[in-house]
Amino acid sequence: MSAPIIHMENIKKHYGNVIALNGVTFDVRAGECHCLLGDNGAGKSTFIKTMSGVHKPTEGSINFEGKPLSFNSPRDAMEAGIATVFQDLAMIPLMSVTRNFFMGREPTKGRGIFKRFDIDTANEITMTEMHKMGINLRGPDQAVGTLSGGERQTVAIARAVYFGAKVLILDEPTSALGVRQTANVLATINRVRALGIGVVFISHNVRHAMAVGDRFTVLNRGQTLGTATRGEINAAQLQDMMAGGQEMAELEGSLGGTI
């Protein structure tokens, strides 16, 4: 197996008195999909924010391509090749897909005072890159707000891939989607993985994770409970770990059935 692109060791993060992370170890290899599972409030978003330079960990170390590294800003992480598609997707609904795709990184033509946004090139790149991810847009000037949730996720993913991501972090990309759109996003994850990019897929849906994951790490109240490889663990076991086995059993008992 290849060496990890990024290795996070014993990461802790406190917000004042709140201990959001209390020792998380996690790594990602090229071309794999490593799922980070956990219930609401387990610390998933906080963890990937330390991975993408939004927060500095209170404690712990980060190794990127074999060297110790500390990110001072999301820009640092992006430049290293860590792209994040956040839960609250940063897109401007009234602007076109192309504008959202480039967002400040538009290709230009001409020089000096003649320099201007090269809209034709930008449109062509957008259409091509979206097509590669399995989405045929009506046109590049379609407003992002008129896309489905799954298509919007795909714009963000295609954009990250185009700008050279080595690691792509997806924070709950399927949580607000219906069945068909979820299937499309999971297929997109497979395409990204096939390009040799390491994918971190955050979810609290075990079935979605099982559909694409190579490895699974469960977070529970800010701690990792270990990492399992595909085939070593089944959906029921993962579900149990996520909920904290004991509590789940109690909950099932009180509801008189299986959740």
Ligand X SMILES: Nc1ncnc2c1ncn2[C@@H]1O[C@H](COP(=O)(O)OP(=O)(O)OP(=O)(O)O)[C@@H](O)[C@H]1O
Residues near ligand X (CB under 6 A): 15, 18, 20, 38, 40-46, 204
User: ∠38-217-149 over CA atoms, to 5°?
Assistant: 55
Q: Which residue is nearest to Mg ion (CB)?
A: 45
Nearer to ligand X, 41 or 110 (CB): 41
CA-wise closest residue to 33 among 155, 194, 185, 158: 194
Rg from Cα positions in the chain: 19
Q: Which does 81 bind (CB under 5 to 8 A by kind): Mg ion, ligand X, none?
A: none
Q: Which of Mg ion, ligand X, none lies near 150, with the C-beta cut-off 5 to 8 A by kind?
A: none
What's the closest the beta carbon of residue 232 comes to Mg ion, in angstroms?
26
Which residue, 85 or 122, has its beta carbon nearer to ligand X?
85
Q: What does 20 interact with, of Mg ion, ligand X, none (CB < 5 to 8 A by kind)?
A: ligand X
> Binding of Mg ion at residue 45 (CB under 5 A)?
yes
Dihedral of CA 218/224/230/231: which sign? Answer: negative
Q: Which stretch binds Mg ion (CB under 5 A): 10-18, 41-49, 115-123, 215-223?
A: 41-49
Q: What is the dihedral of CA 130, 132, 137, 143, to 10 degrees?
A: 0
Is 50 near Mg ion (CB under 5 A)? Answer: no
- Residue 50's binding partner out of ligand X, Mg ion, none, with CB under 5 to 8 Å set by partner kind: none
Residue 173 interacts with, from Mg ion, ligand X, none (CB under 5-8 Å by kind): none
DSSP state of 138: S
Shortest Cβ distance from residue 42 to ligand X (Å)? Answer: 4
Tell me the C-alpha distance between 189 and 208, whole Å.
Answer: 11
217 and 26 Cβ atoms separated by less than 8 Å: yes
Tell me the sheet residues that pair with 4: 29
Q: Which parts of 113-172 interact with Mg ion (CB under 5 A)?
A: none
The 10 Å Cβ neighbour count of residue 82 is 26
Binding site for Mg ion (CB under 5 A): 44-45
